[in-house]
Amino acid sequence: MSIGQVVRRRGEVPDPVAEGAGAPAPSARGKIPVRKVSFAARLRRDGALLVMVLPAVVLLAVFAYVPMLGNVIAWQQYSPYTGFVNSPFIGWANFERVFSNPLFLDSVENTLVITAFQLVFFFPVPIILALLLNSVVTPRIRTTIQSIVYLPHFFSWVLVVTIFQQIFGGAGLVNQTLRDAGMGAGFDLMTNPDTFLVLITMQSVWKDAGWGIIIFLAALSTVPPEQYEAAACDGAGRWRRMWHVTLPALRPVIILLLILRLGDALTVGFEQLILQRGAVGSDVAEVIDTFVYYQGVIYGDWSFAAAAGLVKGVVSLLLVLGANKLAHVFGESGVYQKS
């Protein structure tokens, strides 16, 4: 391999993702004129790299892209016996069924209610915790707390729900304590549809609020201390410093996470809900994902469920794209750059 090839390797073309990561701008030396390389030469040069990418591409092609094509069954009267090829096409009938199905509309409503509730009561928690943690001066205490609160993120939903059941369930610790104190024993948070929203939000907070801190702490650590110093010199008190220095530093991250959340607006903790759907009933715990699961896998109405799932996927995609556009309008970078 010659030096000439090495030079050509240097990326003159800035890469969209690298740009997003805030990689240093290509240096002036990047202006070295590119000699045209023949396709065969490039293939020979980069062959090894292509071979490396191959396994991942094959896996994605089979397990991500083939199913995307498999969505054609949403327009079919699919039956496992006739298969994709021989099932008759029936136009938009399945989608019409989806939108006129009251259970589906209920599940959409439940999904949106849960998302909205979690946006208000879950989303701010990591920000507040990060600010609080950031104000802890002793490094050892700070890192210790961090490693403890990250931990539940790595537990499975089964485990989290089980822990909640052991503590808030009918035979749980809280009830047990109430009983010992002679205050009756009717307490069972796990099966009460009225408080289900609160319950699942508590679970989400317990599991993921700590983990959510990490990204805010990183953003906070990039604030130059001189800014605080200057603000303090100008007479800004603790709260004004937080308002004018800290929060602006967090703004891009907050917007980024809001966008991601919006894209996931139709996805609310699938495993979490399917685990508890039985205990509280489908009135409050049926979301779009669980609806799709029950209609398709349990009741075998494949085409109908695929149509419902497809609607969800497409709407989610539009939500992400729209939210990202909105972020650009507000001058933030969003999830991806315009390129």
Partner 1 sequence: MSGQAPEISSDVALVPRDLAPGVARLPRRRRSRHRPAWEEPPSRVGAVVKFVVLAGVVLAVVFPLWTVIVTSLSTQAETIRVGGLVTVPGELTLNAYRQILSGGIVTRAALVSTGVTAVGTLLSTVVSVLAAFGLSRPSSLWHRPILFVFLITMFFGAGMIPTYLLVSGLGLINSYWALILPGAVSAFNVLILRNFFMGIDNAILDAARIDGAGDWRILGAIVLPMSRAVTAVVALFYGVGYWNAFFNAILYINDNAKWPLQLVLRSYVLQGVTLPGSGVGQVDVASGAVTGLPIKMAVMVLAIVPILVVYPFVQRHFTKGVIFGAIKG
Q: Which amino acid is at 212?
A: G
- Does 38 contact partner 1 by CB under 8 A? no
Q: Which listed residue (79, 261, 313, 326) binds partner 1 by CB under 8 A? A: 313
Reading phi first (left if > 0) and then psi (alpha if -120 to 50, else beta), residue 183 is in: alpha
Six-digit token pair at 230?
């200057």
- Distance linking the first and last C-alpha atoms of the chain: 33
Which CB atom, from 271 or from 283, has the smaller least distance to partner 1?
271
Which CB atom, from 92 or from 299, has the smaller least distance to partner 1?
299
* CA 33-39-41 angle, 5° bins: 80
Reading phi first (left if > 0) and then psi (alpha if -120 to 50, else beta), residue 203 is in: alpha
Q: What is the CA radius of gyration of the chain?
A: 26
Q: Which listed residue (112, 249, 258, 274) binds partner 1 by CB under 8 A? A: 274
Quote the CA–CA distance of 18 and 162 in Å, as a whole number.
Answer: 42
Strand partners, 76: 89
Could you tell me the smallest distance in angstroms from the CB atom of residue 320 to partner 1? 6
Could you tell me the smallest distance in angstroms from the CB atom of residue 120 to partner 1? 20
Q: Which residue has the tokens 């890469």?
A: 15
Residue ranges in 61-90 that form contacts with partner 1 under rule CB under 8 A: 62-71, 73, 80
CA nearest neighbour of 286 among 259, 308, 260, 302? 308
- Does 275 contact partner 1 by CB under 8 A? yes
Main-chain dihedrals φ then ψ at residue 220, nearest 5 degrees:
-65, -35
- Does 145 contact partner 1 by CB under 8 A? yes
- Does 305 contact partner 1 by CB under 8 A? yes
Could you tell me the smallest distance in angstroms from the CB atom of residue 248 to partner 1? 16
Could you tell me the smallest distance in angstroms from the CB atom of residue 329 to partner 1? 18
- Does 323 contact partner 1 by CB under 8 A? no
Q: Which residue has the tokens 């991942």?
A: 56
CA nearest neighbour of 288 among 96, 107, 94? 107
- Does 239 contact partner 1 by CB under 8 A? no
**Span near partner 1 by CB under 8 A; candidates 87-95, 98-106, 142-150, 191-199:** 142-150
Could you tell me the smallest distance in angstroms from the CB atom of residue 110 to partner 1? 18
- Does 225 contact partner 1 by CB under 8 A? yes
Distances (CA, A) of 323 to 109, 265, 315: 21, 11, 12
- Does 296 contact partner 1 by CB under 8 A? yes
- Does 198 contact partner 1 by CB under 8 A? no
- Does 163 contact partner 1 by CB under 8 A? yes
Main-chain dihedrals φ then ψ at residue 76, nearest 5 degrees:
-115, 170
- Does 299 contact partner 1 by CB under 8 A? no
- Does 224 contact partner 1 by CB under 8 A? yes
Q: Which amino acid is at 115?
A: T
Q: Which listed residue (95, 99, 101, 179) binds partner 1 by CB under 8 A? A: 179
Strand partners, 89: 76
Q: Which listed residue (139, 184, 186, 331) binds partner 1 by CB under 8 A? A: 139
**Span near partner 1 by CB under 8 A; candidates 87-95, 96-104, 106-114, 316-324:** 316-324
